[in-house]
Amino acid sequence: MAGLCLLAVLAPSAAVAARYGAARAALGGTTTYGTVASVTGTCMPAQTQRRGKPQTTCTFTITMAQATITVTALTTTVWIPYSIPAVVAGFVAGDAVVVKASGSPLVAQKVTFNTTPFPVPPAKLKQTTGRYVSATATQLVLSHGAKDLTFTITPNTRYREKGKSVTAPTYATGEALRVFSQLYTDGNQWATAVWITTPKKSKK
């Protein structure tokens, strides 16, 4: 009987387990990215608060592909400029941003920002294969299954054809391509490399 009582004390109830799971999820937070639409208040204190009750420093809105959300920053929020221009300009409307936040409404734990779009952590490379549709100086479109995919092209994009690096690729409609890309804060896939995989027919 004593053993049963001990087990009853040690075994957590379903409600306690649920609360514990919710607390763990809140601590983990979620990652949100987009463009800063507006800022209210002074977001970046002289230093991050380590002790005491956190105080609200500002609120800001983030525009994403399908929604606009509001985030609250506290004196405990960690601010990370992505580049020297971001250090100089500070956190302002128009910035590209990645926010780790938790709770409802969202409270920022860490904010990384930049004056231009940057890779969304963990910035893994994605491989996509498809057929060439069209290209401009800033975009590449290829068909992938039943849909067309658009990639952002930059001066840093690298190209390979017949296993060799090329600076000015020549595409043919329907040509097989392999694109290596990263997701950026503007919601687009930015191509880091494009491989032309269709063998060129030799001229007789």
Q: Is 144 exposed, middle or buried (0-12, 13-18, 19+ CB in 10 A)?
A: middle
* pLDDT tens, position by position, 155-169: 999 999 988 999 988
| Pair (101, 142) in one structural domain | no
**Lowest-pLDDT range, 3-17, 67-81, 112-126, 182-196?**
3-17
Rounded mean pLDDT, 11-34 = 52
User: Does the pLDDT of residue 197 top 50, yes or no?
Assistant: yes
Write out the residue range of the structural domain in which residue 84 sits.
30-114
Look over the chain and give the mean of its residue pLDDT values, rounded to a whole number: 84
| Pair (102, 135) in one structural domain | no
d(CA 188, CA 110): 22
| Pair (131, 101) in one structural domain | no
* pLDDT tens, position by position, 44-101: 876 665 666 888 899 999 999 789 999 999 999 999 999 999 999 999 999 999 999 9
| Pair (65, 101) in one structural domain | yes
Confidence of residue 129 (pLDDT cuts 50, 70, 90): very high
**Lowest-pLDDT range, 8-17, 24-33, 117-126, 181-190?**
8-17
Q: Would 50 be classed as within a structural domain?
A: yes
Domain boundary, last residue among 50, 85, 114: 114
Q: Would 43 be classed as within a structural domain?
A: yes
**Predicted pLDDT of residue 9:** 32
**Predicted pLDDT of residue 7:** 32
| Pair (104, 141) in one structural domain | no
* Residue that is written with structure tokens 């919601």 in the block: 187
Handedness of CA 47, 50, 52, 58 (dihedral sign): positive
Strand bridging mode 158-161 / 30-41: unpaired
| Pair (135, 105) in one structural domain | no
